Copies of this chain bind each other. A is one copy, B any other.
């Protein structure tokens, strides 16, 4: 991908800016141009590496308790500078090493929401084996209205068809029962709106799914509010790790089991790789004028490299344009001009 430039905020990662810079070096080796915003000193290892530009931006607001006001009051912060570069078209996409809330606030102010979009959403491929399920919102919006969920449905379907090549993706709503009457008020109202959309032919809505369907259900795209979506995603990650730890413990419980574990190790590694969150690179931040990618703050260089590659791939495949057109074709963009005042939610 020779013509893609990714702006990367190196502040906020658990392992520090040097780890993010190390990931950038790997990504740059594939031909992606990377602009690193962070403390230049800490990222000295990336200095002079072909394809990498370093902008000295030591100020971090990654841990600010109120992201929106921190973004407003700290124009020199690394995430703000990175988002500004994307907003100005100097870079094609944003990758944030810091908190989701700060990245979201900086992006809303500087990259801006795409025309007709209520709220940006975080979309991930679920870290489950043998599946290709797109799950959103996993944390951009702790509080949403039913019409937001409807737009998330189209955004997820657009992503699944544009990027993953899923034709006519089956879209489901996360609830606590399959019947339309199940769930809280938000979900029941969204269900009714999605049924209308499906009747209009614009969306392949397959109804509600439950938590256990996330890891093997009948849907290509699953829509949730950012609170339950975030809880569910982290529950999947935690449970996978807990079960694998238990398998490991079982494989140490006797000489016989130890031998079994040794013989099985190679076959299990492929599975471990499949569910490794670092392998996916993080979540797409959809609904902005340009693409964002939010990796886990706890990623190593490998995960940050993957995040930069994910962002570049999304630019290359025009995720923003194709998602926008999917929403436009379905008439799912927000119409009312009175609706257009910018707002920032703090997840």
Contacts and interface: CB of A to CB of B under 8 A. Distances in A.
Interface in A225-278: 226-228, 230-244, 246-247, 249-251, 253-254, 256-257, 259-268, 270-271, 274-275
Contacts of A212: 234-235, 237-238, 241
Number of copies: 2
Contacts of A231: 174, 176, 210-211, 224, 228, 231-232
Q: Secondary structure of the A side of the interface?
A: helix
Contacts of A239: 128, 214-215, 235-236, 239-240, 243
A181 interface: yes
A232 B235 contact: yes
B268 A259 contact: no
A214 B253 CA distance: 25
Given A184-B142, A184-B227, A227-B228, A264 B235 contact: no
A261 B182 CA distance: 41
Contacts of A184: 142-143, 227
Contacts of A274: 246
A100 to B, nearest CB: 9
A230, A239, A270 interface centre (most CB from chain B within 10 Å): A239
A139, A174, A210, A211 interface centre (most CB from chain B within 10 Å): A211
B246 A129 contact: yes
A128, A232, A263 interface centre (most CB from chain B within 10 Å): A263
Interface residues of A, number: 69
A185 B249 CA distance: 40
A202 interface: no
A174 B184 CA distance: 17
Interface string A281-322: 000000000000000000000000000000000000000000
A260 B250 CA distance: 12
A146 to B, nearest CB: 14
Contacts of A232: 211, 231-232, 235
A247 B247 CA distance: 9
Contacts of A14: none
A65 interface: yes
A237 to B, nearest CB: 5
A249 B216 CA distance: 15
A280 to B, nearest CB: 16
A228 B233 CA distance: 12
Contact of A257 (B65, B139, B264): B264
Given A247-B268, A267-B254, A216 B238 contact: yes
B142 A242 contact: no
Nearest to A130: B246
Contact of A267 (B228, B260, B267, B271): B260
A21 B70 CA distance: 62
A46 to B, nearest CB: 30
A136 to B, nearest CB: 14
11 contacts: A128-B242, A176-B227, A176-B234, A210-B230, A211-B237, A214-B239, A215-B235, A216-B238, A232-B235, A251-B264, A260-B263
Interface of A: 65-66, 128-130, 139, 142-143, 174, 176-177, 179, 181-185, 187, 210-216, 224, 226-228, 230-244, 246-247, 249-251, 253-254, 256-257, 259-268, 270-271, 274-275, 346-347
